[in-house]
Amino acid sequence: MNGHPLLEARDVTVRFGGLTAVNRVSAGFGAGELVGIIGPNGAGKTTFFNALSGVVEPTAGELHAGGVRLTGARPHRFAQQGIARTFQTPRVFAELSVAANIGFGLQFAGRHRAAPALLKDEAAILALIGLAPQAALPAAAITPSQQRLLEIGMALATRPRLLLLDEVAAGLTEGEVEAMARLIRRLRDELDLTVIWIEHAVTTLLRHVERVLVLHQGRKIADGTPAEVVRNAEVIEAYLGDEMAEAA
């Protein structure tokens, strides 16, 4: 990674009462990387993700974006540093049109930031995510998979440098998941984005990312290419071998 990583976690720990959800996890994410985060249920994935986006404040450790210290900052400060995210349950404005939802993202954070042509306005963003035909429909009237795309579009409207994707394949058919993964790669390539993607569907994620972080019981147990990770004994044990065998 040249210079400062776009986002860096240093020994990040998050405790809820007596429970340590994330235990001294360190990771750096460089420009243009496509990174997946996996781990069994209760591994601390979502909590770590929430810390990376400013939704949860670390109990200990540091967060830096491009050399700027963000530990303890509110989510809007993360947005100002070019960090955008989606949520497990799409957060769209159901009664607003699809185009107006994108407009909200532009109003929220995107107008003051220099934008590539692909993100210049609502129409450009809708074309990029494949929702131009649905522009005038209320968000409530589009399919669940289209709502996920819309939420990605709203995140892109803030013109981020780094996009955090939280289980965007959940509830999608196999064909929709493949299409989503292709879109994510295309966004990364065409917008020069860094993408960090959490997914419960391990096999899907390992097929499409270039680097994987594995969390287990709050600790980072592996960080490498998909090929390295599926052969890692500690990872295989954490997953009891089943999904990893399928992935390999």
Q: Would you say residue 112 has pLDDT above 80?
A: no
pLDDT tens digit sequence for 8-32: 999 999 999 999 999 999 999 999 9
pLDDT tens digit sequence for 132-178: 999 999 999 999 899 999 999 999 998 899 999 999 988 888 898 88
- Calculate what percentage of the chain has a pLDDT beyond 90: 65
pLDDT tens digit sequence for 58-108: 999 999 998 899 998 988 888 888 999 998 777 899 999 999 999 988 886
What is the architecture of the domain spanning 7-82+161-247?
3-Layer(aba) Sandwich (3.40)
| Pairing outcome for strands 83-85 and 34-38 | unpaired
pLDDT at position 229:
93
CB-based burial label for 4 (10 Å; 0-12, 13-18, 19+): middle
Report the Cα 33 to chain-centroid distance in Å: 12
Contact between residue 142 and residue 98 where contact means Cβ atoms under 8 Å apart = yes
pLDDT at position 243:
63
Q: Would you say residue 207 has pLDDT above 70?
A: yes
Please give the Cα distance from 219 to 238 (Å, whole number).
11
pLDDT at position 43:
87
Mean pLDDT of the chain, nearest integer = 89
Q: How confident is the model at residue 127 (pLDDT cuts 50, 70, 90)?
A: very high
Domain ranges of the chain: 7-82+161-247, 92-158
- Calculate what percentage of the chain has a pLDDT beyond 70: 92
Q: Would you say residue 205 has pLDDT above 60?
A: yes
pLDDT at position 247:
61
pLDDT at position 236:
87
Closest C-alpha to 39, from 229, 228, 174, 189:
229
pLDDT at position 35:
97
Q: Would you say residue 246 has pLDDT above 80?
A: no
Contact between residue 59 and residue 15 where contact means Cβ atoms under 8 Å apart = yes
pLDDT at position 1:
47
pLDDT at position 248:
59
Please give the Cα distance from 131 to 29 (Å, whole number).
29
Please give the Cα distance from 236 to 143 (Å, whole number).
36
